[in-house]
Amino acid sequence: MTNDFLPINLNDMKKRGWDMCDFVYITGDAYVDHQSFGHAIISRVLERHGYRVGIIPLPDWKNADAFKVLGTPRLGVLICAGNIDSMVNHYTVSKKKRRDDAYAPGNKAGQRPDRATIVYCNKVKEAFPHLPVIIGGVEASLRRFTHYDYWDDKLRRSILFDSKADILIYGMGERQIVEIAKRLDDGEDLSGIPGTCIISKTDCGGRLIPSYEECIDSKKQYAISCQMQYYEQNPYTGKTLAQKHGDRYLIQYPPAMPLEEDELDKVYSLPYMRTYHPIYEKYGGIKAVEEVKFSISMNRGCYGNCNFCALAFHQGRIVTSRSDVSIINEAKRMINDPDFKGYIHDVGGPTANFRQRACKKQYSSGACKDKQCLYPAPCKNMEVSHKRYLELLRKLRSLKGVKKVFIRSGIRFDYLMADKDDSFFTELCKYHISGQLRTAPEHISDNVLKHMGKPKNDVYEAFSDKFYKINQRLNKKQYIVPYLMSSHPGSTIYDAIRLAEYLNRHNINPEQVQDFYPTPGTVSTCMYYTGMDPITMEKVYVPRSGKEKAMQRALLQFKNPDNYKLVYEALTKAGRQDLIGYLPHCLIRPPQGNILNEQRRNIKNGKDSQRKRSIAKNKGRAEGRGGKAKGTRH
């Protein structure tokens, strides 16, 4: 294997002595040869198995010739929208166009199309009508069944039908792509490969789930469909699923087995260039590289299984990790980078403090079908230990040239609290954060947390108390920065007010708040569309109107003057005028300024000279209470 970037044009191919690629990889991201980018991993894995792969990043989707710059590949075309779903990449939760794109040259938005997988496939079929097309990545993986599309506000067919691709890879695709390449090379059929979906004229003996048409007709049937999909995402016990679309079937074969430690080590030891292609220098590089260049991906999978997260549907609930040796070797390569300043930005993954599978059972039968590892409380069979992770961090800290090792991936605080050994918690505070620890309680209302699949608030409270006690003992002034979410299914305006009261009581002023974003492939998105929990089939309240969502979001940032009107309206609507006033527990002050300004306008118009005295009187009252005449907020 050549230690260089993969070809992006015919000149690059000639330098390698190639007259043809085996595969051309079309990606909606800039070409970054780093193991945090899916196109880099899949391409390098194919390269290790002897296949020639060329990359076409961000092609002009309006011109079929842009897809021919590497000539006609021998075996097929691989297509991925990018590291992020193209619609999420392009639009905020309020469906406004984003102004930037960290995965594109110069951080400039608009360099890939909406629904990039479908658009790219159409152009590839135009350019190479007889070549097999393989789609994968997050966008394809999470849209593999009939799915709710937030941007169209309706159900869409499987992306495999809309893209007209030959096969879809879901989940982490190393095993699948190698098997597909071998079969194409040998002229064999692509059916039956674990971790893939195809279209068939028959149900292939798969377990039938509600059809596209049934889901369109009934939200309950859609919820049942989501439940059945969720239950079969176990590579040990999962069954083949079939979902009818018209007169054909989407066939999902059981998930591929996760890569074991030695296999992950091989994937992460491939000759990545660890940066973006030089063609992007003139644009100022690729912003997405900045955070990952000096970060280490340690694990895959997550048994935290939050309802609003698509990880369980994509990577799966079984955690696998790389060996210490593999990670240390990557750190040493980092240290030799001339841009390295001594700081490893992260050592983690989907959840940083998950270093091994949840329990011994998962080694033989995977994650439980109808139980969760941490919700509503940690399973009694779960093996809670941070020893392996702690040993790794100690080794990294001891490397010559390393000044600091940060942990910026999410820390699952309920798992941390379940560990009776405080060694990791203490060293986390002592060595691995710099002033602030970002955690994700998401909410404080147990009603909302239940629908999120998160632990009760008292677990977070205990974690917070312990964090500050440890820091006090270490004589450190460090703080928790909580990630919070508004408008999740189940959240009423009263729940949002309870959260605002909590923030006020603890003097927390969140700078960023995430409004719930109904993305494909999550249990919470099914709740949003159907108004029911697909696991329990119970009804769930859903805040849908733009006004209510705006009020819930504003309540989480009630100190922001721009949110005053929305907070005032929310409190009034909920009958919580007791939170409008001058006492410490109040969220906002009365709208005195608005009244005074109206009175001033009346006087200016010569309506009432007596009101002039009233203004002075009201102004004196407001200032006597520590207020200002112009309607102040906390």
**pLDDT above 60 for 552:** yes
Residue 606: per-residue pLDDT: 52
Q: Say if residues 310 and 142 touch (Cβ distance below 8 Å).
A: yes
Taking the C-alpha atoms of residue 475 and residue 430, their distance in angstroms, rounded to an integer, is: 10
Backbone angles phi, psi at 508, to 5 degrees: -105, 130
Superfamily of domain 286-547+555-562: tm_1862 like domain (3.80.30.20)
pTM above 0.85, yes or no: yes
Q: Say if residues 268 and 258 touch (Cβ distance below 8 Å).
A: no
Mean pLDDT of 169-177: 97
Residue 511: per-residue pLDDT: 78
pLDDT band at 259 (very low <50, low <70, confident <90, very high): very high
Length of the chain: 634
For residues 550 and 3, the model is more confident at: 550
Cβ contacts of 490 within 8 Å, gap of 6 or more: 447, 448, 450, 451, 452, 527, 540, 541, 542
Domain residues of the chain, as ranges?
A: 10-252, 286-547+555-562, 592-624
Q: Say if residues 340 and 334 touch (Cβ distance below 8 Å).
A: yes
**pLDDT above 50 for 619:** no
Query: Positive or negative, the Cα torsion across 437, 438, 439, 445?
Result: positive
pLDDT in tens, 570-617: 999 999 999 999 999 999 999 975 544 444 454 455 544 444 444 444
Taking the C-alpha atoms of residue 321 and residue 619, their distance in angstroms, rounded to an integer, is: 64
- Cα 196 to Cα 157, 253, 260: the distances in Å are 17, 6, 19
Mean pLDDT of 481-503: 97
Residue 476, number of CB atoms within 10 A of its CB: 13
**pLDDT above 90 for 522:** yes
Average pLDDT, rounded, for the chain: 93
- Cα 312 to Cα 42, 304, 320, 517, 522: the distances in Å are 21, 9, 14, 17, 8
Mean pLDDT of 167-191: 97
The amino acid sitting at 470 is I
How far out from the chain centre does Cα 507 lie? 28
pLDDT in tens, 379-414: 999 999 999 999 999 999 999 999 999 999 889 999
Mean pLDDT of 481-485: 94
Residue 433, number of CB atoms within 10 A of its CB: 21
Helix, strand or coil for residue 48? Answer: helix
What is the secondary structure of 447-512 as a DSSP string? Answer: HHHHHHT---HHHHHHHHHHHHHHHHHTT---EEEEEEEES-TT--HHHHHHHHHHHHHTT---S-
**pLDDT above 50 for 627:** no
Taking the C-alpha atoms of residue 25 and residue 39, their distance in angstroms, rounded to an integer, is: 7
Q: Say if residues 239 and 206 touch (Cβ distance below 8 Å).
A: yes
Mean pLDDT of 245-268: 97
pLDDT band at 2 (very low <50, low <70, confident <90, very high): low
- CATH T-level assignment (fold) for domain 10-252: Rossmann fold (3.40.50)
Taking the C-alpha atoms of residue 119 and residue 87, their distance in angstroms, rounded to an integer, is: 13
